[in-house]
Amino acid sequence: MVETTTAIDDEVLRDDRLADPYPYFAQVREADPVRWNERYRAWFVHKHEDVLAALRNPAFSSDRVRPVYADRLTDEQRAARQPTFDVLSHWMVFLDPPEHTRLRQLVQPAFSPKAVARMRPRVEEVVRETLQTLADRDSFDFVKDLAYPIPAIIVAELIGVPAGERDLFKKWSDDILTLVFGAEGSADRRERAQQGLVELTDYLRDMIAKARKQPGDDVISSLVSARDVEPPLSDEEILSTCALLVFGGHETSTNLIANGTRQFLLHPEQMELLKADRALVGTAVEEMLRFDGPSRMEARLLVEDVELRGKRLRAGDNVLLVQSAANRDPDVFENPDTLDITRHPNPHVGFGFGVHHCLGNFLARLEAQVAYLAVIDAMPDLALAGGETWHPTMMSRGMKSMPVVRTGRR
């Protein structure tokens, strides 16, 4: 039994903490920075120094799907969840080197800085066209109508999805995130997530078959035709990697665009700074990643005992590395609870660190930069309408809905 001496309510997904988790994380970071949370049967690590060290330490393994499936489920549960396991067990985010390295090196070129830089004109075009569809609207849902479509269009084009079929991914992704990012509340979330995965993989299986017959200039075709990797990719690995790119390729960017815009609307003085000096957009994105980024925490499974701040963490223990707490650690960041788009340097861990550093980080940064500037240009009268709702997920920080209004049109 693990003893935790500090009396703190450990329900991370309380409604008030979904809306604003930072006071709670600050309380725990100060009182008990390496804390056993009995509610979630996991260690929560809150200090920047400790999170960074864990992300560098192979004892904190990302390979957590296969051990759970093999060791912690009944035969009946394993049979019921087989379709989910068949996909997630090949996701590179749930693998350690060398398997992770082998898969990542095949898709890395599509998300390299040079490749992303070549995409800027298309990203700017997509943002401009998406904003144009909202030009005559007095109010709209910023997430549904703007923050989601922009990265969804871009990643669909990267993968090779026909334009008319992109919206198929929204429901599938929403169902999948309830499982991958650790949601509470819905009794049937596993079943819905599995159904979403099955439907997504069935769709991608057809795309892969078409790419074999007629390769194009897209990521699916490059995976299908890969010859210089040993051992060669199996069909299951190709399918799972494509599913990961569809899911991960828009979720992070959607949340970065929406969360960041919300913070600009809550801090108009920071928006005025960006209007006055558009060159600040790069540091603005970094500050949004730190201050209210799309990733709240990363999950790991210990493969050997580790001692951290006087606590003994045992092999087999689950660990959650709380990026949202680390990114506001006063030992690293001056005035950590103040939004400052001029902040530099900014050693946040919003995209993780090390071998699992977010594959699409350059693309997400580009999409957010273009979106922030375009929104303040096209909609200077934008304001929050109130009533934002948040996904009840452990690992991600993102909104289901963000109603906004154009105040100049009232």
Sign of the torsion angle spanned by Cα atoms 92, 176, 86, 225: negative
Range among 81-85, 103-107, 157-161, 273-277 with highest mean pLDDT value: 273-277
Lowest mean pLDDT among 74-78, 174-178, 216-220, 358-362: 174-178
191: Cβ contacts below 8 Å, ≥ 6 apart: none
Per DSSP, the three-state class of 86 is helix
112: Cβ contacts below 8 Å, ≥ 6 apart: 362
pLDDT band at 6 (very low <50, low <70, confident <90, very high): low
* 314 has a pLDDT exceeding 80: yes
| Averaged pLDDT, 321-332 | 98
* 176 has a pLDDT exceeding 90: no
* 5 has a pLDDT exceeding 80: no
Count of alpha carbons within 13 angstroms of residue 71, beta-carbon side: 7
Query: In this predicted structure, what is the pLDDT of residue 322?
Result: 98
86: Cβ contacts below 8 Å, ≥ 6 apart: 236, 240
Query: In this predicted structure, what is the pLDDT of residue 154?
Result: 92
| Averaged pLDDT, 47-56 | 98
* 318 has a pLDDT exceeding 90: yes
Flag whether the pTM goes above 0.85: yes
Distance of alpha carbon 197 from alpha carbon 205, whole angstroms: 12
Q: Can you say whether residue 41 is alpha, beta or left, with left for phi > 0 and alpha for psi between -120 and 50 degrees?
A: left
Query: Which DSSP symbol is given to 389?
Result: E
Q: Contact 322/25 with Cβ under 8 angstroms?
A: yes
Helix (H) or strand (E) holding 206: helix 189-213
Count other Cβ atoms within 10 Å, centred on residue 141.
18
Average pLDDT across the chain, whole number: 91
Lowest mean pLDDT among 123-132, 153-162, 318-327: 153-162
What stretches of 214-280 show up as alpha helix (H) in DSSP? 219-224, 235-266, 268-276
Q: Which residue has the higher pLDDT, 112 or 165?
A: 112
Query: In this predicted structure, what is the pLDDT of residue 364?
Result: 96
Count other Cβ atoms within 10 Å, centred on residue 289.
27
Q: What is the dihedral of CA 129, 132, 134, 135, to 10 degrees?
A: 170
Query: In this predicted structure, what is the pLDDT of residue 248?
Result: 79
Q: Can you say whether residue 299 is alpha, beta or left, with left for phi > 0 and alpha for psi between -120 and 50 degrees?
A: beta
How many percent of the chain have pLDDT more than 70?
A: 95
Helix (H) or strand (E) holding 123: helix 120-132
Distance of alpha carbon 398 from alpha carbon 383, whole angstroms: 18
Distance of alpha carbon 128 from alpha carbon 120, whole angstroms: 12
**Among candidate residues 290, 266, 262, 271, the one with its CA nearest the CA of residue 398:** 262
**Which residue matches tokens 């493969």?**
303
* 168 has a pLDDT exceeding 80: no
Burial of 349 (0-12, 13-18, 19+ CB in 10 A): buried
Measure the N-to-C terminal CA separation of the chain; round to a whole number of Å.
59
pLDDT band at 161 (very low <50, low <70, confident <90, very high): confident
How many percent of the chain have pLDDT more than 90?
A: 66
Taking CA 80 as the corner, what is the angle to CA 41 and CA 319, rounded to the nearest 5 degrees? 20
pLDDT band at 181 (very low <50, low <70, confident <90, very high): low
Beta bridge partners of 403: 141
| Averaged pLDDT, 249-270 | 95
Query: In this predicted structure, what is the pLDDT of residue 183?
Result: 60
Sign of the torsion angle spanned by Cα atoms 289, 291, 293, 298: positive
Query: Which DSSP symbol is given to 44?
Result: E
Cis peptide before 330 (omega within 30 of 0): no
Q: What are 334-347's pLDDT values in tens digits?
A: 999 999 999 999 99
* 2 has a pLDDT exceeding 50: no
Distance of alpha carbon 47 from alpha carbon 51, whole angstroms: 6
- CATH code linked to domain 15-409: 1.10.630.10
Lowest mean pLDDT among 60-74, 333-347, 365-379, 391-405: 60-74
E-strand spans in 46-153?
60-61, 139-141
| Averaged pLDDT, 61-69 | 90
pLDDT band at 1 (very low <50, low <70, confident <90, very high): very low
Query: In this predicted structure, what is the pLDDT of residue 8?
Result: 85
pLDDT band at 350 (very low <50, low <70, confident <90, very high): very high
E-strand spans in 132-261?
139-141
- Assigned token pair, 403: 């109603």
Query: In this predicted structure, what is the pLDDT of residue 3?
Result: 43
328: Cβ contacts below 8 Å, ≥ 6 apart: 22, 25, 26, 29, 290, 291, 336, 337
